[in-house]
Amino acid sequence: MKVRNSLKSLRARHRDNQLVRRKGRVYVINKTQKRFKARQG
Strands 38-40 and 25-29: antiparallel
pLDDT score at 7: 94
Q: How far apart are CA 41 and CA 14, in angstroms?
A: 22
pLDDT score at 2: 93
pLDDT score at 8: 93
The pTM (predicted TM-score) of the whole model is 0.83
pLDDT score at 41: 79
- pLDDT tens figures, 4-41: 999 999 999 999 999 999 999 999 999 999 999 999 97
